[in-house]
């Protein structure tokens, strides 16, 4: 029995850590899925907006003395507003065109945002500590010591994911949104301001990315490339879950985080590629993704 426990221990450890990474994948792919599902825009700037969330948190702390909790609220608000400006001035002009134009525009925006931050702050990163409330010895789970802050990440991520899913699938506002995607003219004819809803949706998606950025700031190095590291994996997560499916992206976000974790025990060299292998298999078997509607 003890031997079995010994074998099981790394499995449990990596599963738990994978859950934390999965929390970030889920939050980021959620924002992407919302934006793609509602606006049909492939938001390549999502990683840069995630990074911006973390950098704004650092700026709030450094220049205004506003700590983690304030940043958790303010940073998504600020970056979300920036998203609103981007949507109004640029993206809204592309809705009628092919997806590719939106992809190219947001990819360009991502390069510009990353370049600006790099010129201003360099690449090594900005120090951002774990908030005081979580400065306690790691919690002993029996099979590993888990820092309290990482629990918080998982709890917040699950809450936000479920909340967003509920808002879109179960509320009246959500039903308007979904209707506006299917039949924009008809919904507008009923007196609903569709362009405003589009803008608000993009702003919300961007705010979700920034929110994930603030969550990530205490555990990952805050630097201009931090989003680029995530975004390719997150795109794979969205494709696996099914483009535009909220639940699909959340579930596959967590699942892939854990699979990646297990890979780190048995074949660490492949941990960066395992997600793409799964993506290839899923695309072969179910081209619309696990939860997608073909």
Query: Which residues contact another protein (rule: CB under 8 A)?
Result: 9-10, 13-14, 17-18, 20-21, 42, 44, 98-100, 103-104, 107, 111, 118, 120-127, 129-130, 137-138, 144-145, 147, 149-150, 218-221, 223, 225-226, 229-230, 232, 235, 239, 243, 261, 264-265, 268-269, 271-273, 279
In angstroms, the CA 220 to CA 215 distance is 9
Q: How far is the CB of 173 from another protein (least distance, A)?
A: 27
User: Rounded to a whole number, what is the distance in angstroms from the first to the last CA of the chain?
Assistant: 47
Q: How far is the CB of 81 from another protein (least distance, A)?
A: 27
Q: Which is nearer to another protein, 85 or 123 (CB)?
A: 123
In angstroms, the CA 246 to CA 261 distance is 23
Q: How far is the CB of 23 from another protein (least distance, A)?
A: 11
Crossing angle of helices 226-241 and 274-285, rounded to 10°: 20
Q: How far is the CB of 133 from another protein (least distance, A)?
A: 14
Q: How far is the CB of 167 from another protein (least distance, A)?
A: 25
Find out whether 289 and 242 touch, Cβ atoms under 8 Å: yes
Q: Which is nearer to another protein, 7 or 185 (CB)?
A: 7
Q: Which is nearer to another protein, 58 or 211 (CB)?
A: 58
Q: Which is nearer to another protein, 90 or 104 (CB)?
A: 104
* Whole-number Cα distances in Å, 274 to 227, 266, 280, 287: 19, 12, 10, 18
Nearest one of 245, 13, 30, 2 to 141, comparing CA atoms? 13
**Taking CA 26 as the corner, what is the angle to CA 20 and CA 28, rounded to the nearest 5 degrees?**
110
Q: Which is nearer to another protein, 143 or 176 (CB)?
A: 143
């Amino acid at each position: 029995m003890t031997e079995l426990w010994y074998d099981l221990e790394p499995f449990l450890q990596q599963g738990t850590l994978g859950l934390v990474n999965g929390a970030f994948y889920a939050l980021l792919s959620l924002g992407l899925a919302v934006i793609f599902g509602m606006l049909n825009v492939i938001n390549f700037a999502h990683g840069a907006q995630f990074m911006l969330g973390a950098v704004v948190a650092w700026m709030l702390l450094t220049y205004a003395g506003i700590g983690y909790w304030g940043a958790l609220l303010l940073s998504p608000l600020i970056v979300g507003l920036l998203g609103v400006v981007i949507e109004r001035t640029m993206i809204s002009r592309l809705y009628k065109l092919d997806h590719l134009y939106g992809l190219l525009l947001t990819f360009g925006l991502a390069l510009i945002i990353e370049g600006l931050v790099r010129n201003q702050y360099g690449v090594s990163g900005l120090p951002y500590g774990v908030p005081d409330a979580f400065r306690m010895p790691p919690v002993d789970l029996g099979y590993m010591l888990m820092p309290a802050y990482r629990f918080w990440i998982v709890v917040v991520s699950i809450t936000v994911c479920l909340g967003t899913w509920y808002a879109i699938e179960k509320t009246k506002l959500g039903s308007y949104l979904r209707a506006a995607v299917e039949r924009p003219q008809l919904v507008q004819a009923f007196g609903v301001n569709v362009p405003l809803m589009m803008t608000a949706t993009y702003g919300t998606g961007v705010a979700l990315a920034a929110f994930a950025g603030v969550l990530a700031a205490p555990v990952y190095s805050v630097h201009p490339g931090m989003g680029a590291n995530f975004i390719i994996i997150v795109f794979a997560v969205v494709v696996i879950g099914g483009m535009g499916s909220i639940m699909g992206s959340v579930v596959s976000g967590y699942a892939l985080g854990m699979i990646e974790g297990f890979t780190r025990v048995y074949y660490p060299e492949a941990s960066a590629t395992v997600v793409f292998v799964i993506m290839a298999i899923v695309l072969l078997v179910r081209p619309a993704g696990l939860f997608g509607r073909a």
